[in-house]
């Protein structure tokens, strides 16, 4: 079945009842008839206003669920929504139990680069905890998406669990016990509604299945690898899930270690963006121009095996691909532009792509940092455990086997299986709280094993029956020390949404968010000893992709070296044999899979001391080449012009395999005249017939199957004789005894280097040519057999192993010509700055005949003895090996011969970073101004170009501003000094090398005189600004060629804003989709994409408001 293309112009089919209601409402004149629709995004409610939607239009919908925000008190909370609709919807934000009218606290924005609507909540407090709604409305309907804001507090002491739990659940804590029942009922109804919206169904069986899925997703808190983001979103735990569930399942805060960098490429080439995350993430969102990018032929989205490096490759770039590209990972994002040029050389740019650094090294450093942070956390916990600081009796909430929350009373036992963000103590505590031990006299352990969990339930039920009546339902309450506990099932379902904490009460009750037994403690707290944390995973297993026939390796590290472990594959224990090799190196455990086969794919698990970590091994069979065949293929192939080129390469891999051949990036196809491609199951052959020199270049074969892609590259070199050497000949020396000249080598050497040049000479006035012979393959010749004043002509041919080129004939060259000295440097610096201690090197190139005399001067005098001067043919160099400040000056070179002389001068300044000025003093001589004075820098006498800069900091601002620059004295008067403010001043010393450290003044402040301000405003009447519409720029006559586009525009004013209507031959065009009509700030325009005979006629624009009406007309004619 073919998929309908994404668009909003489709008609939605509703039931006969919907259609009847819609028809009845339209007949009755009720324009607010609405139809409720489903959205693909869970929790989104769509209301459609009309039954039939015009082509190209759509009702608003959300591309993804609005993210839930968990933020610390006092920080910034940010909601982001991505909405699609045509026409563009109006997006607003609301609160359920409050208002967002405070513009300073609640700020709404729109990001053009990502197309996101943003709500920022500044300086979050406990009062901001609420359900927030994003509402998108246009002419055809509206969409509503709800999410929550949860305020947490940063817990600095991991042992203070009572405070942490009270802060986390502050939204359901009530101090007033008399109003507890009423408020509990309200919270119960709100939570049921929120859970109903999150599950998105009313069917009880489906609701039960979805709750089980949500509980399975919660298991990752107990040491398992975290679930995919898609599973979390499905269960409502990310982007708008239940607030309390999201608190218990907190994903580490993601950020970018390496952000996107600007990419520059040519048209029809590829572009690459790369980024590195702080923590592994299977998938991130790539966006451009408000659209989410998907993996396909245009965009290649890849992720590394360790899930930290993400790449986006854009194929066949064009001018339309220019713009900003964004990578979104959780609440973090980064953006970089893409520049596409038709010709990079012409634009003076170089191709850039990727991050430009070794990303694998960055990942290794980040993983090492994460591991060190986890080890530090474990060491800190162990130290507190050894010191006896964690023996206080606590009431805590932890997870059971299937994600249910159980409340127990007892001392805290720490365990950690995942590496979390060290900056988030609540995450660390959640990941380390796994096993709780009850008070003495009754043993009950909560472990990760399902059998242990069942045993706990049996012991708990027996304890309740021994003391009093116990409920048989799953929701039976625990009875500590045999106390009676039996509540109604409905009451338990309601109480699962309440958590009450009271330090002063003897009876403490903590209820989780699942229908699992709980236990009431009666009596005082009993202190127990802290249980040993046990073995932890420093790092766990990671998913890998293995290749058939090659070896694979799984690795994990424990916190102790003396602990043994067991490996499993799909639940079956693994023992060492020819296929699997188990090794242990200290605390590192490894499993080697030898010569992987397809049946070795599966889920592998490592268990040690009731801790476990899992990973998936996928054995794939991508296309690949034999190493020996590949090595032979990559060797360049050299053939002569007119011969055939044959390329053949064997391969293996999962069938079917798609085979493609390329030459210089362009795909080759079967062509009976010159190209033949043979494709088989295990090899492919390319035949290029009667190759020419232009066929030389890169030859590439690309193989692709459902498991992967590979390619091999070689070079084809077609050999031919060289082309003609390039002229004209350039004389380098002409004297009475010799002529020196040079030329350029052939543009194309035919694939072989030039061995020799064959030379002939003719004296002007004679008819014979003298054979000089062969000279080495350097395009330069010195002829010493010449007579002064005579002219000569030369013939030059290039010789290679493939033959001799055509002849190049020079112009007439005369011997004995005087050449005046001339400098040949393209860019000659007249000023240079050198740091003291570095070398100074000035090189001057020149041409002159006969050879000139060269002289260097400093400040019109001889250069010091420590200056070295080196002369050669056509060049001279002045060198100061170790420069000093005294070497500063003007250096000149004089080049002189019989034909004349030439000079050039450059100023060399040897300096160093300036030292800071002396103390800064401030004095007020005139009210409103202060005079800033300072002691000079010690370098002021050594550097005549040293100057000063003054910066000012106002107490009402947070940035330094420059008030004066390039000061060559030691004082300055600063104006606009306000009373009642404090000022700081900094003085910097600057020279050609840089800026010194600042010298800072003391705080300057003048008390503000308070005066009473009285203001009498005159009474005045507000003027009437209304006016009738008026066309200030009328329409012009248009005559457009047939098939071309036509653009009409005019300008109109009016208050109130007039309503604009377009007509063609008195027929309204506003609803005609063939015309693109817009009205921006009074500029009315209409675009006809393809003009035809049907468009000929009279076009009229009318503007109408409550004051009056105006119109403007024009004629459109079509030329053939």
The pLDDT score that the predictor gives to residue 7 is 40
Which two tokens mark 77?
């909370």
Strand pairing class (840-849; 875-880): antiparallel
Question: Is-cis flag, bond preceding 87, omega within 30?
Answer: yes
Furthest CA-CA distance within the chain: 135
Which two tokens mark 447?
């472990």
Alpha helices, DSSP H, located in 413-449: 425-432
Cα–Cα distance measured from residue 975 to residue 983, given in angstroms and rounded to the nearest whole number: 12
The pLDDT score that the predictor gives to residue 209 is 54
Q: Cβ(128)–Cβ(69) under 8 Å?
A: no
List of residues 6+ apart from 88 with CB closer than 8 A: 138
Cα–Cα distance measured from residue 203 to residue 207, given in angstroms and rounded to the nearest whole number: 6
Which two tokens mark 383?
């130290």
Closest to 416 in 3D by CA, of 431, 398, 401, 394: 431
Question: Is-cis flag, bond preceding 183, omega within 30?
Answer: no
The pLDDT score that the predictor gives to residue 501 is 35
Closest to 124 in 3D by CA, of 155, 102, 145: 102
Cα–Cα distance measured from residue 751 to residue 766, given in angstroms and rounded to the nearest whole number: 38
The pLDDT score that the predictor gives to residue 491 is 40
The pLDDT score that the predictor gives to residue 215 is 59
The pLDDT score that the predictor gives to residue 452 is 37
Q: Alpha carbon of 111 to those of 50, 104, 132, 357, 956: distances in Å?
A: 30, 19, 20, 29, 30
Q: Where are the beta strands (DSSP E) in 97-164?
A: 106-111, 116-121, 130-138, 141-152
Backbone angles phi, psi at 751, to 5 degrees: 90, -5
Q: Cβ(951)–Cβ(961) under 8 Å?
A: yes
- By CB atoms closer than 10 A (0-12, 13-18, 19+), residue 872 is exposed
**Residue linked to tokens 């604009």:** 1060
Question: Is-cis flag, bond preceding 850, omega within 30?
Answer: yes
The pLDDT score that the predictor gives to residue 864 is 92
How far, in whole angstroms, is CA 403 from its chain's centroid? Answer: 34
List of residues 6+ apart from 558 with CB closer than 8 A: 535, 536, 537, 538, 565, 587, 589, 608
**Residue linked to tokens 């493609």:** 660
The pLDDT score that the predictor gives to residue 1071 is 87
Q: Cβ(976)–Cβ(928) under 8 Å?
A: yes
Residue spans of the chain under pLDDT 50: 1-18, 20-21, 24, 27-33, 154-178, 192, 196, 201-202, 204-205, 219-251, 389-530
The pLDDT score that the predictor gives to residue 854 is 93
CA atoms within 13 A on the CB side of 529: 3
Q: H or E element: which one contains 165?
A: helix 161-168
Backbone angles phi, psi at 493, to 5 degrees: -60, -35
Q: Cβ(870)–Cβ(842) under 8 Å?
A: no
Cα–Cα distance measured from residue 931 to residue 1001, given in angstroms and rounded to the nearest whole number: 12
Cα–Cα distance measured from residue 272 to residue 314, given in angstroms and rounded to the nearest whole number: 6
**Residue linked to tokens 């007033």:** 176
């Amino acid at each position: 079945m073919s998929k309908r293309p994404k668009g909003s112009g489709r008609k939605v089919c509703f039931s006969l009842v919907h259609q009847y209601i819609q028809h009845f409402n339209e007949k009755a004149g009720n324009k607010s008839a609405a139809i409720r629709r489903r959205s693909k995004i869970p929790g989104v409610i769509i209301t459609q206003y009309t039954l039939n939607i015009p082509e190209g239009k759509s009702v608003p919908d959300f591309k993804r669920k609005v993210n839930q925000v968990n933020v610390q008190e006092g920080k910034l909370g940010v909601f982001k929504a991505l909405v699609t609709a045509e026409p563009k919807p109006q997006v607003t934000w609301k609160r359920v139990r409050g208002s967002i009218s405070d513009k300073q606290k609640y700020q709404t924005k729109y990001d053009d680069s990502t197309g996101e609507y943003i709500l920022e909540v500044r300086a979050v407090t406990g009062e901001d905890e609420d359900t927030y709604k994003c509402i998108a409305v246009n002419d055809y309907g509206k969409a509503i998406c709800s999410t929550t804001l949860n305020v947490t507090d940063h817990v600095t002491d991991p042992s203070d669990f009572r405070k942490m739990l009270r802060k986390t659940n502050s939204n359901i804590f009530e101090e007033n016990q008399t109003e507890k029942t009423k408020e509990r009922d309200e919270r119960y109804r709100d939570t049921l509604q929120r859970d109903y919206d999150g599950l998105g169904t009313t069917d009880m069986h489906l609701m039960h299945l979805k709750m089980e899925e949500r509980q399975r997703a919660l298991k990752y808190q107990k040491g398992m690898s975290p679930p995919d983001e898609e599973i979390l979103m499905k269960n409502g735990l990310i982007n708008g899930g239940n607030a309390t569930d999201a608190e218990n399942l907190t994903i580490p805060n993601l950020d970018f270690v390496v952000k996107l960098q600007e990419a520059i490429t040519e048209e029809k080439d590829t572009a690459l963006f790369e980024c590195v995350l702080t923590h592994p993430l299977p998938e991130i969102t790539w966006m451009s121009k408000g659209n989410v990018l998907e993996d396909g032929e245009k965009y290649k989205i890849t992720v590394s095996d360790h899930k930290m490096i993400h790449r986006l490759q854009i194929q066949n770039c064009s001018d339309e691909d220019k713009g900003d590209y964004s990578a979104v990972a959780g609440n973090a994002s980064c953006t970089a532009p893409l520049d596409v040029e038709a010709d990079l050389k012409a634009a003076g740019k170089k191709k850039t792509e990727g991050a430009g650094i070794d990303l694998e090294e960055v990942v290794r450093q980040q993983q090492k940092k994460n591991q060190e942070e986890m080890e530090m956390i474990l060491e800190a916990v162990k130290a507190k455990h050894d010191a006896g600081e964690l023996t206080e009796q606590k009431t805590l909430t932890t997870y059971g086997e299937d994600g249910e929350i159980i409340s127990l009373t007892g001392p805290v036992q720490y365990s950690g299986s995942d590496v979390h963000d060290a900056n988030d103590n609540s995450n660390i505590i959640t990941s380390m709280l796994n096993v709780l031990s009850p008070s003495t006299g009754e043993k009950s352990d909560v472990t990760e094993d399902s059998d242990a969990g069942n045993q706990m339930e049996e012991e708990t039920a027996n304890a309740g029956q021994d003391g009093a009546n116990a409920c048989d339902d799953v929701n039976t309450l625990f009875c500590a020390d045999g106390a009676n506990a039996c509540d109604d099932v409905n009451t338990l379902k309601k109480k699962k949404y309440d958590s009450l904490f009271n330090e002063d009460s003897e009876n403490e009750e903590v209820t989780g968010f699942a229908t699992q037994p709980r236990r009431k403690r009666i009596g005082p707290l009993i202190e127990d000893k802290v249980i040993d944390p046990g073995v932890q995973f420093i790092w766990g297993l990671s998913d890998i992709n293995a290749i058939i026939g090659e070896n694979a390796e799984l690795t994990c590290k424990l916190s102790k070296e003396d602990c043994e472990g067991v490996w499993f594959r799909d639940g079956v224990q693994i023992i060492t044999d020819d296929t699997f090799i188990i090794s242990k190196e200290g605390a590192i455990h490894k499993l080697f899979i030898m010569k992987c086969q397809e049946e070795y794919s599966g889920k592998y698990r490592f268990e040690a001391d009731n801790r476990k970590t899992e990973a998936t091994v996928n054995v794939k069979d991508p296309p690949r080449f034999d190493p020996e065949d590949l090595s032979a293929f990559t060797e360049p192939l050299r053939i002569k012009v007119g011969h055939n080129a044959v390329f053949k390469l064997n391969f293996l891999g999962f069938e079917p395999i798609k085979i493609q051949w390329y030459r210089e990036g362009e795909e080759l196809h079967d062509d009976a005249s010159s190209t033949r491609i043979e494709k088989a199951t295990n090899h492919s052959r390319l035949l290029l017939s009667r190759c020419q020199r232009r066929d030389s270049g890169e030859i590439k074969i690309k193989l692709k199957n459902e498991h992967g892609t590979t390619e091999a590259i070689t070079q084809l070199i077609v050999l031919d004789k060289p082309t003609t050497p390039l002229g004209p000949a350039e004389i380098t020396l002409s004297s009475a005894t010799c002529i020196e000249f040079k030329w350029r080598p052939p543009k194309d050497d035919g694939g072989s280097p030039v061995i020799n040049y064959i030379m002939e000479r003719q004296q002007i006035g004679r008819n014979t040519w003298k054979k000089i012979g062969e000279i080495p393959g350097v395009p330069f010749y010195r002829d010493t057999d010449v007579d002064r004043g005579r002219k000569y002509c030369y013939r030059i041919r290039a010789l290679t192993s493939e033959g001799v080129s055509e002849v190049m004939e020079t112009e007439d060259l005369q011997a004995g010509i005087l050449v005046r000295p001339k400098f040949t440097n393209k860019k000659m610096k007249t000023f240079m700055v050198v740091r003291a201690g570095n070398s100074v090197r000035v090189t001057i190139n020149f041409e002159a005949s006969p050879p000139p005399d060269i002289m260097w001067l400093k400040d019109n005098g001889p250069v010091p003895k420590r200056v070295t001067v080196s002369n050669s043919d056509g060049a001279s160099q002045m060198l100061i090996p170790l420069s000093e400040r005294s070497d500063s000056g003007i250096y000149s070179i004089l080049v002189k011969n019989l034909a004349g002389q030439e000079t050039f001068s450059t100023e060399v300044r040897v300096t160093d970073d300036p030292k800071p000025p002396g103390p800064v003093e401030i004095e007020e001589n005139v009210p409103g101004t202060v005079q800033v004075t300072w002691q000079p820098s010690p370098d002021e006498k050594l550097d005549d170009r040293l100057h000063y800069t003054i910066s000012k900091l106002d107490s009402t601002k947070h940035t330094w501003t420059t008030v004066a620059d390039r000061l060559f004295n030691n004082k300055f008067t600063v104006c606009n000094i306000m009373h009642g403010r404090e000022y700081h001043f900094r003085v910097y010393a600057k020279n050609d090398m840089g800026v010194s450290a600042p010298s800072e003044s003391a705080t300057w402040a003048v008390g503000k005189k308070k005066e009473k301000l009285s203001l009498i405003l005159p009474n005045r009447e507000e003027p009437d600004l209304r006016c009738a519409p008026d066309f200030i720029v009328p329409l012009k006559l248009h005559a457009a060629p047939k098939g071309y586009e036509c653009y009409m525009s005019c300008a109109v004013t009016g208050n109130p804003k007039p309503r604009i209507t377009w007509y063609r031959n008195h027929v309204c065009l506003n609803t005609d989709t063939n015309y693109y009509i817009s009205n921006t700030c009074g500029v009315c325009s209409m675009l006809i994409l393809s003009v035809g005979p049907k468009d000929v006629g009279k076009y009229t624009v009318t503007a109408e408001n409550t004051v009056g009406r105006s119109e403007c007309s024009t004629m459109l004619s079509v030329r053939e």
